[in-house]
Chain A
Amino acid sequence: DAGITQSPRHKVTETGTPVTLRCHQTENHRYMYWYRQDPGHGLRLIHYSYGVKDTDKGEVSDGYSVSRSKTEDFLLTLESATSSQTSVYFCAIRANNEQFFGPGTRLTVL
């Protein structure tokens, strides 16, 4: 698992509430990514980071923000969760020209 952990692993929340998902890596990799995975879609990039405080948008960034104040942590925030953000969220790191994925967080927005 390339030293990647995600927390929480499961979360149920209500529409309109803020939610923060955490990705933690132990190997000091520069690039980190957040994806969402939904039935009928391939994995889609939400945001990525190429260093501390350096982030950029992916193809489905609306409704999401990220922060990276330390190399090891990449946070994904849903400021006001909506039902369309019910999904499985994967964090990934880049190492040796490969991407390695975390175990995922299953988020349900009621």
Chain B
Amino acid sequence: KNQVEQSPQSLIILEGKNCTLQCNYTVSPFSNLRWYKQDTGRGPVSLTIMTFSENTKSNGRYTATLDADTKQSSLHITASQLSDSASYICVVSLSNSGYALNFGKGTSLLVTP
């Protein structure tokens, strides 16, 4: 059973609009949470990484939030651009895993003109 669940599975928004992607996890003990962006035909690229003590991290128009108590994270994209069309993957790392990562299935975002 996947311990990292993402919603929605897919999303279509108009260029210039904002959107929020969700990630719920049951992984424990928790070390850090990452958001990756994966363009079609490319490898994932890291957007943000947060430890359990951080509750927000920004990278340009991308802002990730983390609530370690409820085990929820969100990725907010502001003023979307066509180039934001991609899959966004939530990844949780265990603190005693030797660096094993638990990957969500991703949210596929399409930004249309």
Contacts and interface: CB of A to CB of B under 8 A. Distances in A.
Interface of A: 1, 4, 31, 40-45, 58, 90, 92, 94, 97-104
A12 to B, nearest CB: 17
Contacts of A103: 42-43
Interface of B: 2, 4, 34, 41-46, 49, 89, 99-106
B101 A45 contact: yes
A104 B103 contact: no
B106 A101 contact: no
B46 A100 contact: yes
A108 B43 CA distance: 18
B107 to A, nearest CB: 12
A79 to B, nearest CB: 25
B92 to A, nearest CB: 10
B46 A104 contact: no
Contacts of B105: 40-42
B2 A42 contact: yes
A37 to B, nearest CB: 9
Nearest to A102: B43
Given A42-B89, A43-B103, A101-B43, 11 more contacts: A1-B43, A40-B105, A43-B89, A45-B101, A58-B100, A97-B49, A101-B44, A101-B45, A104-B41, A104-B42, A104-B43
Contacts of A90: 43-44
